[in-house]
Amino acid sequence: SHVQKNTQCFYKSREKFKVLVALRAMNKKMAAFNVIADEGGAFGPFSDDRILIYNKVLTNICDAYDPSTGVFTAPTAGLYYFTFFYHAGEAHGSNLSLRKNDQHLVMTSDHRSSPGGGDAADNGGNATVLNLKKGDKVSVHMAAGSHVWATAAGHTTFSGFLIKGQ
């Protein structure tokens, strides 16, 4: 009957809702992002230090990474893992540092190479594990005079995820 169909539909919807509520609760305990700097090619050098903004978002669980500022804000306290990688050409040096609340933690760098010296391109990266409080901010900074190769192909990336919440 029509009433029986509606009742079955109601119970199925209620079960789906319970699953969605459970998944949402799980996601509050999760945080992960993977982003790419995409500026169409060579990016930099600049005369000042700046946050490197990774504007192409591949993954952003919890929306904790802000692609307009380049900053990850910890949505919950816990232990996090971060990586950052870059690709660059020989014409300028590269110096990137990962910072927590604007405090330098780890870096990767490469000196400028002589044109035609056989060292036409370089790659670098680093990783760290951080104990963060809710609201702590993590970003990658590019030192004055640095450059990176920033294309949609994903040469220059920044990633992080919550290992264990507190």
What are the backbone dihedrals phi and psi of residue 9, each rounded to the nearest 5 degrees, phi first?
-65, -40
pLDDT value at position 12?
A: 58
**What's the number of domains the chain is made of?**
2
pLDDT value at position 24?
A: 52
Percent of the chain with pLDDT over 70: 76
Residues 96 and 160 occupy one common structural domain: yes
3-state secondary structure 75-127: CCCEEEEEEEEEEEECCCCEEEEEEECCEEEEEEEECCCCCCCCCCEEEEEEE
Residues 150 and 77 occupy one common structural domain: yes
Residues 77 and 19 occupy one common structural domain: no
- Asked if pLDDT for residue 40 goes beyond 80, the answer is yes
Residues 129 and 113 occupy one common structural domain: yes
**pLDDT tens-place string over residues 114-143:** 666 666 677 889 999 999 999 999 999 999
pLDDT value at position 28?
A: 56
Residues 15 and 94 occupy one common structural domain: no
Q: Residues, the chain, total?
A: 166
Is the sign of the CA dihedral 94, 98, 103, 104 positive or negative? Answer: negative
Residues 119 and 80 occupy one common structural domain: yes
pTM: 0.80
**pLDDT tens-place string over residues 57-113:** 999 999 999 999 999 999 999 999 999 999 887 677 788 999 999 999 998 887 666
Beta-carbon neighbour count of residue 31 at 10 Å?
A: 24
Residues 3 and 75 occupy one common structural domain: no
- Asked if pLDDT for residue 18 goes beyond 80, the answer is no
Query: Would you state the torsion angle of the CA atoms of residues 59, 61, 64, 68, taken in this order, to the nearest 10 degrees?
Result: 30
Residues 134 and 149 occupy one common structural domain: yes
pLDDT value at position 131?
A: 98
Cα gap 85→158, rounded to integer Å? 7
In terms of residue numbers, what domain contains 4? 1-30
For the record, the structure tokens of 24 come out as 């949402």
Residues 89 and 157 occupy one common structural domain: yes
Residues 23 and 46 occupy one common structural domain: no
pLDDT value at position 3?
A: 54
Q: Give the pLDDT band (50/70/90) at residue 14.
A: low
